[in-house]
Amino acid sequence: MVKDYRKKVGSKTGGIKLYAELKQDFINADIKIGRDKFYRFLRLNNLLVPKRKNYITTTNSNHMYKKYKNLVKDQVPTRPEQLWVSDITYIKTQYGHNYLAIVTDAYSKQIMGYKLDKHMRTSLCIDALAMAIKNREYPSERLIHHSDRGFQYCNPKYTQFAEKNNIVMSMTEQYDPYENAVAERINRTLKYEYGLKQTIKNTELAQKMTAQAVYIYNNLRTHFSLDLR
């Protein structure tokens, strides 16, 4: 059951989520097992999730573009499309690095837009944001876009595109990834749980795997912040 669930939803799904999601299956199969015993079972069968190593940053904030204030520090969103977080991560292929730009709704954890390509130019991020805007369900609500201070997000081409779509810009101020923790965490989840951490054959396959990972993340994965919904 554990292996089947991880194969479908994510190879690094932890014990708490596994127990919550499989509890009814245990009952149906007449398997009497509590949470502590379930953890012992995972440990004995080498099914615990290993600790992750450090990751590489893709942020280059050494530029002359305008840097925006952090408008969301210590704030928790209370509705969908109140706060979007954006970031870029790298994907390894046999022909070199690809780059994945993601726009996520901080309240619902839904990935609203994304784009993977062979470059990390500003157009990569604009394409991801354009998809997110197209997927909006509440276009009349006030929306803040939060990101790091990378040149792609500070580029006037990007900020003007966002502001023309009534989006307010916000950025990290201390060059600390924890200021953009939601976006960083989603990057790690997609890479470590859905196969994007491995070296992929080529860009075309990486794009297909990314689309599949986003579908699973948006439609099948449970989230602690949403009470495992």
Instruction: Sort strands 167-171 and 143-147 into parallel, antiparallel or unpaired.
Output: parallel
Name the more confident of 69 and 177: 69
In the predicted model, what is the mean pLDDT of residues 188-217? 90
Rounding to the nearest 10 degrees, give the CA dihedral for residues 8, 9, 10, 16.
-120
Token digits for 42? Answer: 């995972």
pLDDT of the residue at 115: 97
Partner residues linked to 177 by β-bridges: none
| Confidence class for position 79, pLDDT limits 50, 70, 90 | very high
| Confidence class for position 48, pLDDT limits 50, 70, 90 | confident
pLDDT of the residue at 195: 81
State what percent of residues in the chain have pLDDT above 90.
53
In the predicted model, what is the mean pLDDT of residues 36-62? 71
pLDDT of the residue at 14: 83
Cα gap 208→199, rounded to integer Å? 14
pLDDT of the residue at 163: 96
In the predicted model, what is the mean pLDDT of residues 143-152? 93
Cα gap 69→172, rounded to integer Å? 7
Name the more confident of 142 and 45: 142
Token digits for 229? Answer: 């919904």
pLDDT at residue 47 above 60?
A: yes
pTM metric for this prediction: 0.72
| Confidence class for position 85, pLDDT limits 50, 70, 90 | very high
Cα gap 22→228, rounded to integer Å? 12
Domains with residue ranges and CATH for the chain: 2-44 (no CATH), 83-226 (3.30.420.10)
pLDDT at residue 164 above 90?
A: yes
pLDDT of the residue at 60: 55
Burial category of 18 from C-beta neighbours within 10 Å (exposed 0-12, middle 13-18, buried 19 and up): buried
Burial category of 175 from C-beta neighbours within 10 Å (exposed 0-12, middle 13-18, buried 19 and up): exposed
